[in-house]
């Protein structure tokens, strides 16, 4: 019995001795965050009067099928001379802010797009650009959630985590809507009155160009925002997109479906 007690005491003493030489400020070791899967943002400048715009939409659908809807994130920004604003009870999808974006980038025609805020390019080159962007590492990771309440207010929680180095840029939050049934001019010159428009830009949540954000490697910035659901939006079909960008382009983007028990809105 004495031998067992002695052995137990000896092991405890050795354990305490092995820990005692570690200084308190050396017990917490910084571990570099693991790389995250990069996603790519396609800003598709489109319009209901644009006969070739459905071809650009088809290209987006192919890229989403190839890479996944969490990897290729598209926004259809109805705007410009071929966009259509609602009039005479005919639903249009252009917005004043969409027109402002179109004019800001000084775009020459439609369809045309920005891939991660690179140079404007035709849809036939989007596949190559997406592939090139996916080869880059993402210096930040974004976690996003959005919930609508009974009063049709959307509460958005965004967490931006530093992954590589220190990042200065802007965080942009957009609301987009799927499954909107309204007309579209088609490549053969006809008008499809039952065309289904997806990932349609609806509004900016935190300013036209987002808000300044600084994220240091290993740290997280958490932000809260809210926006009211407009009368012509269907809460069941809404999503929120969050992306961080700076002068070098879009650094990371993510999208989340709006969680809701809100009633469906007839359009």
Residue pLDDT, tens place only, 17-34: 444 454 555 555 556 677
For 105-117, the pLDDT digits (tens) are: 999 999 999 999 9
Average pLDDT over residues 197-225: 97
Q: Is pLDDT at 14 greater than 80 in this prediction? A: no
Q: What is the pLDDT of residue 191?
A: 97
Global pTM reads 0.85
Average pLDDT over residues 144-161: 96
The overall average pLDDT reported for the chain is 89
Average pLDDT over residues 34-60: 95
Average pLDDT over residues 248-264: 85
For 154-195, the pLDDT digits (tens) are: 999 999 999 999 999 999 999 999 999 999 999 999 999 999
User: In this predicted structure, which of 31-40, 52-61, 136-145, 228-237 has the lowest mean pLDDT?
Assistant: 31-40
Q: What is the 3-state secondary structure (H, E, C) of the chain?
A: CHHHHHHHHHHHHHHHHHHHCCCHHHCCCCCCCCCCCCCEEEEEEECCCCCCHHHHHHHHHHHHHHHCCCCEEEEEEECCCCCCCCECCECCCCCHHHHHHHHHCCCCCCCEEEECCCCCECHHHHHHHHHHHHCCCCCEEEEEEEEECCCCEEEEEEEEEECCCCEEEEEEEEEEECCEEEEEECCCCCEEEEEEECCEEEEECCCCCCEEEEECECCEEEEEEEEECCCCCCHHHEEEEEEEEECCEEEEEEEEECECCCCCCCC
Q: What is the pLDDT of residue 259?
A: 86
Q: What is the pLDDT of residue 36?
A: 77
Q: Is pLDDT at 9 greater than 80 in this prediction? A: no
Average pLDDT over residues 204-221: 97
pLDDT band with cut points at 50, 70 and 90 for residue 4: very low
Q: Is pLDDT at 242 greater than 80 in this prediction? A: yes
pLDDT band with cut points at 50, 70 and 90 for residue 223: very high
């Amino acid at each position: 019995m004495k031998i067992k007690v002695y052995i137990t005491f000896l092991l405890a003493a050795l354990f305490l001795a092995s820990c005692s030489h570690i200084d308190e400020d050396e017990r917490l070791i910084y571990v570099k965050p693991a790389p995250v899967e990069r996603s790519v943002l396609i800003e598709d400048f489109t319009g209901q009067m644009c006969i070739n715009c459905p071809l650009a939409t088809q290209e987006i659908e192919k890229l989403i099928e190839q890479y996944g809807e969490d990897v290729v994130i598209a926004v259809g920004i109805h705007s410009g001379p071929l966009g259509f604003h609602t009039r005479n009870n005919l639903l249009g999808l252009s917005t004043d802010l969409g027109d402002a974006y179109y004019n800001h980038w000084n775009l020459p025609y439609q369809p045309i797009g920005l891939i991660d805020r690179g140079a404007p390019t035709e849809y036939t080159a989007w596949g190559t650009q997406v592939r090139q962007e996916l080869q880059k590492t993402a210096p930040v990771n974004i976690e996003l959630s959005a919930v609508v309440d009974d009063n049709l207010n959307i509460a958005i929680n965004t967490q931006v985590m530093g992954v590589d180095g220190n990042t200065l840029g802007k965080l942009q939050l957009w609301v987009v809507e799927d499954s909107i049934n309204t007309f579209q001019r088609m490549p053969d010159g006809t008008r499809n009155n039952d065309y289904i428009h997806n990932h349609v830009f609806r509004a900016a949540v935190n300013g036209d160009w987002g808000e300044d954000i600084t994220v240091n490697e290993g740290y997280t910035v958490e932000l809260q925002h809210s926006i009211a659901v407009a009368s012509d939006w269907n809460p069941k079909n809404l999503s929120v997109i969050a992306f961080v960008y700076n002068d070098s382009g879009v650094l990371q983007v993510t999208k989340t479906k709006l969680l809701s028990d809100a009633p469906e809105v007839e359009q």
